[in-house]
Amino acid sequence: MILIGIGSNLPTEAGPPIATCIRALERLNERGIAVTRCSPWYETAPVPISDQPWFANGVAEVETTLAPIWLLEVLQAIEHDFGRVRGIENAPRTLDLDLLAYNEVVLDVERLILPHPRLQDRAFVLQPLCDMAPDWRHPTLGLTAAELLSRLQPGQVLRRFHGNP
């Protein structure tokens, strides 16, 4: 299972953050990366907690023949298309596309760590993932998404978008 985390907390030409996330999924399909499933969308407080706007977040399952590093290149190109500027850690962003997992691949190279090194710590990843695939198993920890979510410390605030688009 190839998993992409999607998030935005700044508007773009596509509209508010939720519209940007949905448009980013369309852009993946346009680039030959088939979106096969998508979680419900959530509004989530920034992590770490700050006064920046809340995020729209979700998780998508995709199919591609691209190798992980080339998939990352496409994800970052799409982020750039939506005005993403890198530089300040945990800054507000127009679009964030994280390669969370690529089947059972375990990788640690200069530009890419798989599975994503913080996915097990983030409710904004685990809750949407559990809605979509609660039995997905973390390749190195051996725990399911549901087990990882149950182990999170309280305090990460998220709420499902009303009338999920």
* 93 assigned to active site: yes
Query: Is the sign of the CA dihedral 74, 78, 79, 81 positive or negative?
Result: positive
**Catalytic choice (96, 122, 131, 160):** 96
CATH number at residue 138: 3.30.70.560
- 157 vs 8, 33, 42, 47, 111, CA distance in Å? 16, 31, 10, 9, 29
Contacts with 68 (C-beta within 8 Å, 6 or more apart), sequence order: 99, 102, 105, 107, 112, 114
> Per the domain annotation, does 165 fall within a domain?
no
**Catalytic choice (23, 27, 98, 122):** 98
**Catalytic choice (23, 27, 84, 122):** 84
Half-sphere exposure of 70 (CA within 13 A, CB side): 7
**Catalytic choice (23, 51, 86, 93):** 93
Residue 86 CA from chain centroid, whole number: 16
Half-sphere exposure of 130 (CA within 13 A, CB side): 18
What is the mean pLDDT for each group of 10 consecutive residues in the chain (165 residues)? 97 95 97 97 86 94 98 97 80 92 96 96 97 97 98 91 69
| pLDDT given at position 162 | 76
> Per the domain annotation, does 140 fall within a domain?
yes
| pLDDT given at position 163 | 65
* 108 assigned to active site: no
Residue of 91, 74, 90, 96 lying closest to 17 (CA atoms): 96
Q: How far apart are CA 155 and CA 147, in angstroms?
A: 17
| pLDDT given at position 5 | 98
Number of folded domains that form the chain: 1
> Per the domain annotation, does 52 fall within a domain?
yes
| pLDDT given at position 159 | 94
| Structural domain span for residue 108 | 2-160
> Per the domain annotation, does 147 fall within a domain?
yes
> Per the domain annotation, does 61 fall within a domain?
yes
Cis peptide leading into residue 115 (ω within 30°): yes
